[in-house]
A = this chain, B = another copy of it.
Amino acid sequence: MTLTRREVLGAVGIAAGSCALSSCAMEGMGSFQDGTPKPVFPWRYAELDPDITAQRAYSNYKKGYCMYATFKSVTSQLADKYGEPYRSFPVNMMIYGAGGVAGWGSLCGAVNGSAALVGLFVKKEDEIKQLVDELFLWYQQTELPVYVPQKPALNIEIARSVSSSVLCHVSCTRWCKVSGHKTFTNPQKERCKRLSADTAKKTVEILNAHFASRFSAALQHDEKTRQCMPCHTKGSKLQNTRGKMECNSCHSSLADEHMNKGNEQSV
């Protein structure tokens, strides 16, 4: 692939004025370190095909699992298109996110990798929050997985479930209940592969919309969570929690009286 100087500079966001690449030679690594232009942050995003992204994520999973799958599905396409700096990003590090980080069942790796992509391409904190909110609400509320690969690694019908949580532990257990399969089995892995494809696709749809200035939030918290927030979150009377996960997902044993009490108090 041959690119003009303008295309390359635009792609990697290099400020031409600070560029001293022509002086970098192995004999002068001092100048390589000090003179090589550091890619401007945030890295530049380019509109991607959501379906191709899903296919890549599905395929990536076998090498590095969920977080690696979603993260690389996007950066690999930009590396194919532009080369650096995408080509040199150490994507293998994202293997750490597998199974809710090293098997801990905390944050689902598919959304951890997708949120990391948002962080790579979007600088403003309020915009990061808007895009991640939409992605995480979609993940919590949607029957997944939807993606069906053309050449499935495991050719069976995969049941769909609503996770009601962005946590791997909850998401997997709920799917096991619906599907009748156990964790750590091939059907569960196939489910997580397809879920990674869905999540990568959704991420690219959100990023495409954002960078085309046509993103608008479509989803909101479930009704129960909206009942909890006025008493517990920022700006409330108690203000004793942080977070936007579905409250009922863990606090399911709270009696209706607790809710009613809160509602009465807030009147």
Contacts and interface: CB of A to CB of B under 8 A. Distances in A.
A8 interface: yes
B21 A245 contact: no
A250 interface: yes
A253 B252 CA distance: 10
Interface stretch (A35-43, A50-58, A146-154, A257-265): A35-43
Oligomer: number of copies = 2
A36 B84 CA distance: 9
A250 B170 CA distance: 11
Contact of A184 (B25, B123, B132, B239): B239
A204 interface: no
B29 A19 contact: no
A33 B84 contact: yes
Nearest to A188: B242
Contact of A21 (B24, B93, B94): B24
B96 A33 contact: no
A128 interface: yes
Given A119-B95, A240-B183, A133 B167 contact: no
Interface of A: 1-3, 5, 8, 19, 21-22, 24-27, 29-30, 32-34, 36, 38-39, 41-43, 83-85, 87-90, 92-107, 111-112, 115-116, 118-120, 123, 125, 128-129, 132-133, 136, 166-169, 172-173, 176-177, 182-185, 233-234, 238-245, 250, 253
